[in-house]
Amino acid sequence: MSKRYSTSFTETMVRKMVGPGARSAGSLSEEIGIPQSTLSRWLRQYGQTPGGTMSSKGRSARRTAEEKFQAVVGYDNQPDEESRGRFLRQQGFYSAEIQRWRSEMLGGLSSRSNQRDPRDRRIKDLERELGRKEKALAETAALLTLKKTAQQIWGDTEDGK
C-alpha cells in the first residue's frame, strides 16, 4: 500500500530540490525518510510540466510564452526582495521558474541571432546560379537576334554564293 502525500508537501519537496540551495533527491531522502525514487519521480513530474509549474491539484498549469514573459517582467519590476516574494506567492510561481524562463528567453534571443539557417546558404547559391543562367540566356538571345539581322541584311551566306 503506497502512502499518499499532500500536494503542498510534494511541492515543498520539489522546491527544495530545484530552488536556491537545491539538494539532491538522495540527501533529502535520508533527511525526511521518503524513498529517493519517490522524490525523483516528483522532480521528473515537475520537470515535464510545461513551464515546470504545478497547480494546486498537482497537475501542470500550462503557461503560454506571453504569461511567462509577463511573470518575468512583473518579478523584475518589484523594488525589493520582499515585494518579489509577495509577487511570487500571489501569482503562484517559484523563483526558480522565473530564473529558468528568463534564461530560456535570453537563450532563444541569442541563439536565433547567432544561428543561420543552412537553407539560407543554399538559397543564395541557387540565386547566384539562376543569375548566371539568366545572363547566359540573354547573351544567347542577343546572338540569335544578331544572326537573324545579319541574314536579313546580307542574305543567306551558308551556300557560299
Which one, of 69, 65, 71, 64, lies nearest residue 92 by Cα?
A: 71
Instruction: Express each pLDDT in 78-124 by its tens digit.
Output: 999 888 888 888 888 888 888 888 888 888 776 555 567 788 888 99
**pLDDT value for 48:** 46
d(C-alpha 133, C-alpha 95), whole Å: 59
Read off the pLDDT band of 76 (50, 70, 90).
Answer: very high
E strand or H helix at 44, and its extent? Answer: helix 36-48
The C-alpha cell at 158 is 551558308
Q: How far does CA 106 lie from the centroid of its chain?
A: 10
Entry pTM: 0.36
Overall size of the chain counted in residues: 161
Read off the pLDDT band of 125 (50, 70, 90).
Answer: very high
The C-alpha cell at 123 is 538559397
Our CA dihedral for 70, 75, 77, 80, rounded to 10 degrees, sits at 170
Instruction: Express each pLDDT in 20-54 by its tens digit.
Output: 677 888 888 888 888 888 888 887 777 644 444 45
Domain 1-61: CATH class, spelled out:
mainly alpha
